[in-house]
Structure 1
Amino acid sequence: MQLKHKPLMAVILMTLILPTVNAEEDKDAQASSGAADATLPEIVVQADRDDFEARQTAPATRLVYGREELDRMNELTVGDYLRRLPSVTFTGPPGTPKDVRLRGMDKGYTQILIDGEPVPGGGKERQIQVDRLPLDIVERIEIIRAPTADLPNEGLAGTINIVLRDAPTTRVTGGRLVTGRVFGEKTHKDTWNVSGQYGDATGDVRWLFNASVGQRGELKTKSKSEEGFVAATGVRNSWKDEFEDERTTSDGLDFSPRVNVKLDGGDELVLTSFFSRTDETKTRHVDKFKYNTPATGADYVGDGTRDETEDKLREIARLRAEWKHKLAGNGSLSVYAAVQRGGEEKDKTTLEYNAAGALTKTAVEDAEQDEGEWFTGLKWSRTLGRHQLGTGLEYADKSREDVKVTTENGVPKTSGRGDNFDIREQRWTAFLQDEIGLGAAHVLTPGLRAQRIAREAEAGGQSFPGSFNAVSPSLHYLWRVNGRNNLRASVTETFKPPKFDDLSPLTETKTGTLTDPDKSGNPDLKPETATGWELGWEHFLPRHGGVFGANLFYRDIHDKVESRTALGDTRYVSRPQNVGDAGVWGVELDARPRMDIWGMPELMLRFNYTRLYSELVDSVTGIETRIKDQPPYVYNVGFDWQLPRWDAAWGVNYNYTPRFVKNPAEPLKLDVEPEQKLLDLYVMKRLSKTAALRLTAANLLDMKKDKDKSEFNASGQLTKKTLEVERGGPAVFVALEGKW
């Protein structure tokens, strides 16, 4: 299967850009006879340079949040910090961000990279949960709205690149001790974490040991009321309540040592590794009740209990080596190789009891996911006049095995479509990119990324091979209007391979009704592709005083994948399908200004607002709806206020996402996602030049998720109504931190 790109898009953008470029160069020529031959100086990226400078000089749109910014709110995990960034929404228990989503799209449309490369051990959507990564081992976080050709391009909505701390050029010693508590509705959970960094440069060797160990507690309570109705008369014929208490303890260990060795002739050997282990224990107790006379809501009695225990072990490991060689004529060559592995082991036991307390059901689930990969490649770059050329080749070999066995009362259950399968994937990647300086104020970065992916999958004794080619052009334009204003434009092509389990040909048997259809996969799924357009403006305040940004984006998505329920021969079946084309667009505003203009240089405001729109046209029915899981908007507002007189600082952040219908394409299942309101606060007191004490309060509003769902039959008559209320609980943390 061949993915077709559109060369016309590059021509259109060039047509729009070149008149501006030529006009600007004419002005430069009038001002100076040598301006026409001006070339951009080589930009050397330093790990400690200012976030705003890194954003300002990047050839493509890249929002950068460095170590100083990450330190402010004393967050424990990457997920805790990401929720306050532009265009970011989450799923997970109230106050606990797990699966990150950019621009309101499903989590599989957001690409998560660590040090610029994908990692194994994610779910079937190829994305890891960011609540398992401690923030203290991170150097910076980058939001990449439109990728350049040298980056992986499987994030239709965008890319989040998590860059880990690098080996220092001088001695670095730092540490942090955190303790805290989550206050739940029925109980409390303690949290603690110890992290530290120790590194130095001695002779030809730079090195860093960076580690974090700790335990995190999470709580969730949920009440659920479910009413059933006779469709023809509207009379309530069932009414059940459930009250759930869930408690989770996660023990984590993470470290990422780095070693850089200088070799003869200016060459360098870079050895990096990353290991993450999370051991999670979860218990869930559910009390059930029902009305014996549901029509009038009378005779409320107990209906049994359910107890669940779950142990989940998740690991990620990567070892990478790179040789960097300097070439004559201001060029460089790097050759690298890496091996990485990730996986998850889960054991879950469910015990159900009737109203008299007798055991009625025992279910045992044993699941394992194992994903391994090795890859190798090379990259070459060279400066030739106005051009900064770059090219690269890479080969990767990946395997994934999912095994799940479930028994009920000692009898094995039939496997579901995503329970047992093996996948082997080979990937060949090549890219070519040129960063062109057009006068002193203009940078044009065309690129081309080509990939071939061959996949062999097996499930239920059936084998289904597949392969596809992706040729993805990209074009980025940067106009440095003056020292404080940038205008940016980008056109890129990205793609999204199907979820692993969506390719399975197996059918999982349910009741086969419209409200509980059988579930099946679709080996004939095509990958989704998108042409992305970005147009942005950035204004940088003097003396690194902050930034104002505005960005317009549009994604033209082809072969959009959605689950659709349809009547087969005699039963209803839900399966993923390429339902048609979709458009996703919106406006993104972000600001981090320091209040110098009001005579308050110690105060920095922070604000971002994203307005989201979408349209999905079903190729079969022709019905137009919004895409699944997209809220209409999301915003953050807050501030950081330094108090030098008291050697202190404090700050606040408020995050809001409104209510919205999760899947407008299924009107017979009205599922409303509740609004989310998160308020966080921190207070910091410096104890000395090297030590500080920090207090953080998270989820101060004790956010609750009020979910309501309604189901209708084919005639539009109400058959079921469900109301759920979830609560996590506020949390308070105290941290002692120091740098020497």
Structure 2
Amino acid sequence: MSANPAAEESPPPKTPVKAKAEAKAGAEPEPEKIQKVEIKGSTAAYDPRRDDTASKIVVSNEEIVRYGDTSVSDVLKRLPGITVGGGGRGGNDIRMRGLGSGYTQILLNGERAPTGFSIDTLAPDSIERIEIVRAASAEFSTQSIAGTINIVLKKAVKSAQRELKVGAGKSADASNPFANLQLSDKLGALSYSLTANAWRYRYDRQTPTEDTRTAPDGRVVELRQSRQHDRGSPQGVALNARLNWTLKDGDTVTWQTYGNTQQADYLGIEAIATPVGTPPRSTDRTMRDDSRNTFGRSDVNWVAKLAGGGKLDVKLGTHWMRSRGLWEEQDYHGATLWRDAAIRSSTRERAVTTQGKYSTPLVPDHALSMGWDAGTSWREDTRVERDAALPGALPDNSDEGYEASIRRLALYVQDDWNVTPRWSMYVGVRWEGIDTTSEGSTFDQVRTKTSVWSPLAQTLYKIPDSRDQLRLALTRTYKAPAANSLIPRRFTATNNSQNDPDRRGNPDLQPELATGIDASFEHYWAENALLSAAVSMRRISGYMRQGLFLDPNGRWVSAPVNDGSAVTRSVELEAKFPLSAVMKDAPGIDLRASVSRNWSRVEAVPGPDNRLGQQTPLSATLGVDYKSRDSKLTTGASFAFKTGGPVRIDVNQTGYQSVRRDLDVYAVWKFTPQYQLRMAVSNVLGQDYFYDNAYRDASGVRRRTGTYAGYPQGRVTLEMRF
């Protein structure tokens, strides 16, 4: 198991050889020349994918920026074992083992991303690496039933760097100009890095939907067809700054700040035709939205070297978020305006966090560490609605607000033990407690306290006289309810129905608990060549799903509920190798492929298709990269595929997941060491996104379907170093 890669500059874990060499050096100093050769050789031989006790995939910055993506979601969709949900129009759901909706943990520099933070506000150029961790460890939060994706921002400064990238993307319904600046240098004991990026995204597109209601005998008794035209122009800027000081005693102090600000203007016009049945109350609607969002995060990290080879790593941080919005809506029934509303909303969140870890080589061949992770956050939310006084209408003028605070504390201890040079073990235990308090103008104070113990064990065995190795992990993880899932505040729908219900939280919601097992086999058969096979299973209790019910006022309401147990299983296969591993004098071609097959079953929901969290059953990736011998041309392609199909959500509700085929291509031409041109095309196949939601009961079937048109998008980026 590795140390926290987000908090340290050097490779976090130690190979068995390195651990023993350092223990020996601590007991009796060796000549300086021999010591330098040992450390250099050990560091060069270290491979986190191969040598860490925990199963981990590390994606370098070079791989991250290869396609010139402007969104982290686009980067992740090409990685093995990861799928990205949604229709490509925001709200992308990042999934491991096909599971999203909170099952996959997203970390930023080793810490859970704050509520409301979107990883797509990060510029891929600002990321140093992405770590994909299949099995949980005590050092990170164990809210990771499916696994963890840790996004580490740039921090290591090896040499002076000045780089400017300017580019633009264009598709049939959108355009996306962007710019990115990176600066870094060393000034004696001080080093710094700065990344700034700006972007704008303009879109103009249609979003058609269709609602049908069918009687038990199959007759269509209601048909509504919506034509919606959406137009908007979100834009934003982001800044990531880092300062590193190396003190005389070898201690280091690091200050890092990340911030972004965004604004978005939106105009939507909807017209609903009703060829069959009764028209809804709102047949025509005009919607305008003007929103502003600012997010910032700052922390100071001190790493102190202690006597006897120990180390203390302490971090103190804060983050803040502020968003404001104005939503204006005019609803018509035919030519009659019956609602003219303006809704102003404001959200403010502040938080203070602290992390710490003490590690010591107290026993030979052991890396013992213990630490804490704590924080407090405060959130204020206000909503003011003002309706115009129209003939025959009852204005809904309301002032709503609520406040919430979340206090969390986690304590852990872990040990990495090199049993033999070929066998390592990791054991750890983590306790996490969360205390949430909320109160508002429309509900009484609600307080929820939960805590979870997570014992963990992992092992790595390198088979003698071969390049093969085996891994095994036993974990206990959980999924905590999101804060807004606990607050009983209601959000109403204009045309309330089973497919468009009101929504509210459930203060009685409890965490899901999962016990899991992971096993894998890895075969390293040449330099940079890997074949691997991994299997896993999770048994979950307290399964959370969205319930749907009819309240006493005759309105449909959706709220999260705990409902029994579930089980999920996965098989993952991966291969990556240079063509030179199978062909002598081969060109500079690298190949990679992966396949993930997932199964799950929710006990309380009748089958078939009763998949956990609307799990993706099958996903696969295939990629090829080529670099010319003179390194002037680099090109490649990536194909990502995921299946879909029907999903049984509960006894009455079903959904449909769209099949997705993403083909992306890129090419980079290096004119000089200072200038290069990067060109890419994403969604080459013009893949559309289709959804289908249905509610069935004794009165028949109510269904909503829709299609988001997809178009290829081309991007051109000029990259300059100076």
Query: Normalized against structure 2, the TM-score is what?
Result: 0.87
- Name structure 2 gaps, 5 residues minimum: 1-15, 24-37
Name the % identity: 24
Q: Alignment partner of 1:625: what SS?
A: coil
Is the aligned partner of 1:308 residue 2:308?
no
Partner residue in 2 for 1:630: 615
Q: Which whole-Å deviations, capped at 9, do the CAs of 1:599-636 have from their partners, x for residues lacking one? A: 435111121211111111129x9999322321211111
Per-residue deviation, 1:294: 6.5
Larger deviation, residues 515-524 vs 259-268 = 515-524
Query: How many Å separate the matches in 2 of 1:86 and 1:433?
Result: 28
Q: By how many angstroms is 1:507 displaced?
A: 5.5
Gap change, CA 1:718 and 1:195, over 3 Å in 2: same
Cα 1:721–1:398 shift into 2, 3 Å = closer
Shift in alpha-carbon separation, 1:368–1:434, aligned structure 2, 3 A: same
Aligned to 1:154: 143
In the alignment, the residues of structure 2 paired with residue 234 and residue 309 of structure 1 have an alpha-carbon distance, to the nearest angstrom, of 39
Matched, 1:533 2:517: yes
Report the 3-state secondary structure (helix = DSSP H, G, I; strand = E; otherwise coil) of the residue aligned with 1:79: helix
Deviation at 1:573, TM superposition (A): 5.0
> Cα–Cα, structure 1 residues 58 and 290, in superposed 2: closer, same or farther, change >3 Å?
same
Name 1:15's counterpart in structure 2: none
Q: 1:516 to 1:245 in 2, by over 3 A?
A: closer
* Alignment partner of 1:649 is 2:628: no
**Aligned position for 1:100:** 94
| Matched residue type, 1:331 | G
Aligned to 2:316: 337
Q: Of 498, 511, 521, which residue of structure 1 is paired with 2:505?
A: 521
Q: What is the alpha-carbon distance in structure 2 between the residues aligned to residue 518 and residue 214 of structure 1?
A: 35
Report matched runs for 1:476-555 at 5 Å.
476-481=458-463, 484-506=467-489, 519-543=503-527, 545-555=528-538
| Aligned residue number for residue 352 of structure 2 | 374
Q: Provide the residue aligned with 2:6 in structure 1.
A: none
TM superposition shift of 1:65: 0.3
- Equivalent residue number for residue 298 of structure 2: 319
Pick one of 401, 412, 419 that aligns with 1:431: 412
Q: Which residue of 2 aligns with 1:399?
A: 378
Residue type at the aligned position of 1:120: P
- Tell me which of 366, 369, 381 is aligned to 1:390: 369
| Amino acid of the structure 1 residue aligned with 2:234 | S
Query: After superposition, what is the alpha-carbon deviation per residue over 1:270-320, rounded to whole angstroms, capped at 9, x for unaligned?
Result: 1111112222222223233332x679xxxx9xx964322222323321111
Q: Could you tell me whether the CA contact under 8 Å between 2:635 and 2:667 is conserved in 1?
A: yes
Residue of structure 1 aligned with 2:196, choices 207, 211, 236 = 211
Kept in 2, the 8 Å contact 1:617–1:623? The answer is no
Letter in 1 for 2:575: A
Q: Deviations over 1:671-690 (max 9, x none)?
A: 21221121111111111123
Match of 2:140, SS state, is coil
- Residue range with higher mean Cα deviation, 521-530 or 435-444: 521-530
Measure the CA separation in 2 of the matches of 1:37 and 1:659: 47
Alignment correspondent of 1:615: 601
Task: Determine the structure 2 residue equivalent to 1:74.
Answer: 68
Q: How far apart, in 2, do the equivalents of 1:50 and 1:584 lie?
A: 39
CA–CA separation in structure 1 for the residues paired with 2:147 and 2:17: 36
1:221 aligns with 2:200: no
Which position in structure 2 is the counterpart of 1:164? 153
**Deviation at residue 697 of structure 1 after TM alignment:** 0.5
CA contact (8 A) 1:94 1:729 kept: no
Equivalent residue, structure 2, for 1:22 = none
155-164 or 592-601: bigger deviation: 592-601
Please give the secondary structure, in 2, of the residue aligned with 1:448.
strand
Distance in structure 1 (CA, Å) of the matches to 2:395 and 2:108 = 39
1:202 correspondence with 2:181: no
Shift of 1:45: 12
Q: Confirm or deny: 8 A CA contact 1:415 1:508 kept in the other structure.
A: no
Post-superposition shift, 1:42? 5.7
Q: Distance in 1 between matches of 2:285 and 2:501?
A: 25
Change (3 A) 1:87 1:415: farther
8 A contact 2:499–2:702 mirrored in 1: no
**Residue aligning to 1:290:** 274
**SS of 2:595's equivalent?**
strand
Q: 1:218 to 1:555 in 2, by over 3 A?
A: farther
Distance 2:632 2:73 in 1: 29
Matched residue, 1:363: 341
Separation of aligned partners in 1, 2:437 and 2:170: 47
> How many positions carry a matched residue from both structures?
678
Residues 222-246 of structure 1, C-alpha deviations (whole Å, 9 max, x = no match): 22222333x2554333322222222
Letter aligned with residue 612 of structure 1? N
Letter of the 1:681 partner, please give it.
Answer: V
1:182 corresponds to 2:174? no
Where does residue 473 of structure 1 map in the other structure?
455
Alignment counterpart, residue 278 of structure 1, candidates 259, 262, 268: 262
* Secondary structure, counterpart of 1:635 in structure 2: strand
Higher relative contact order (CA 8 A, sep 6+): 1
Distance across 1 between alignment mates of 2:438 and 2:608? 34
In the alignment, which of 430, 437, 444 is matched to residue 449 of structure 1? Answer: 430
Q: Aligned partner of 1:344: which letter?
A: S
Q: Which residue of structure 2 lines up, in the alignment, with residue 14 of structure 1? A: none
- For residues 504 and 354 of structure 2, the distance between their equivalents in structure 1, rounded to whole angstroms, comes to 36
| Rounded Cα–Cα distance in structure 2 between residues aligned with 1:79 and 1:737 | 22
- Equivalent pair of 2:269/2:285 in contact (CA under 8 Å): yes
Matched, 1:64 2:58: yes
In structure 2, what is the Cα distance between the partners aligned to 1:41 and 1:279?
54
The CA distance in 2 between the partners of 1:591 and 1:203, in whole Å, is 43
The answer as to 2:119 corresponding to 1:130 is yes
Give unmatched runs, 5+ long, in structure 1.
1-35, 123-127
RMSD: 3.1
Residue identity in the other structure for 1:130? I
Partner of 2:110: 116
Does the C-alpha gap of structure 1 residues 454 and 695 become closer, same or farther in structure 2, counting only changes over 3 Å? same
Asked if 1:661 corresponds to 2:646, the answer is yes
Q: 1:441 to 1:623 in 2, by over 3 A?
A: same
